[in-house]
Amino acid sequence: MKTLLKIFTGIVIGTSLLAFTPLGGESFSLHINGKEVVEHYFTAKAITPTVALNPARANDQVSVYYNECGKIGTNRKLMLKDAQSRVLKEWRYDNAINEHTPMTFRVNEIVAYKTSAPLSLVYSSKEVSKERLLTLLTFDGSKTASR
C-alpha cells in the first residue's frame, strides 16, 4: 500500500511540474555576439518578443537557433519584412548538421531598412507549414538588445 501511495504521489508531483514546462513544439533563441537575448516558445499565449538593435554597432552578429519539435529544418531561411509584410531581405541557409548550427547575419545587412516601425524577422523551412514570426526588430541607439 505504501508503494502504491509513493507511485501515486510521484505521478501527481511529476504532472504538476510538467504543467509549467514547455514540452516539444517549436522554439528559437536569438543571440547577439554570442549572448542570448531571446528564448521563445511558440504557444497560444506567447507574445512576440522585440529586440532593439543598435545601428552604431553594425558589425554585431545576430544568430538564430530554431528548433522544430526537436529537429532541425531543411531549406531554412530567414526573412526581414516591413510593416506591410513585404520581404525586404532574405537569407537562405545550408541544411544544419546539428542543433548548434545557427542562422546568422550582421546588423549592417539590415540597417538600410531602418524605419520608425518595427521590422519582422520571419522563419520558414521545408517542414514548417507556414512562416513563423520570430521577433520584431527595432533600431534604438540607446540599447543594444532588449526582451
Residue 8 lies in a domain: no
Buried b (16+ CB within 10 A) or exposed e, 66-88: bbbeeebbeebbbbbbeeeeeee
- Which residue reads 522563419 in cell numbers? 123
Helix intervals (H) in the chain: 2-18
Q: Is residue 48 assigned to a domain?
A: yes
Give the model's confidence band at 2: pLDDT under 50 very low, under 70 low, under 90 confident, else very high: low
Q: Do 26 and 76 touch, CB atoms closer than 8 A?
A: no
In a domain, 86, yes or no: yes
- Is residue 29 in some structural domain? yes
Looking at the domain assignment, is residue 17 inside a domain? Answer: no
pLDDT at 31: 97
Indicate which CATH number applies to the domain containing 94. 2.60.40
Q: Provide the number of structural domains found in the chain.
A: 1
Q: How far is the C-alpha of 61 from the C-alpha of 75, rounded, in Å?
A: 21
Task: Tell me the pLDDT tens digit for each residue of 13-67.
Answer: 443 333 443 445 789 999 999 999 999 998 878 899 999 999 999 999 999 999 8
The boundaries of the domain holding residue 69 are 25-139
Nearest alpha-carbon partner for 146 in 34, 36, 58? 36
Residue 5 lies in a domain: no
Q: What is the pTM of this model?
A: 0.77
Mean pLDDT, to the nearest integer, of 91-107?
88
> pLDDT tens-digit profile of 74-95?
899 999 999 999 999 999 998 8
Q: How confident is the model at residue 145 (pLDDT cuts 50, 70, 90)?
A: very low
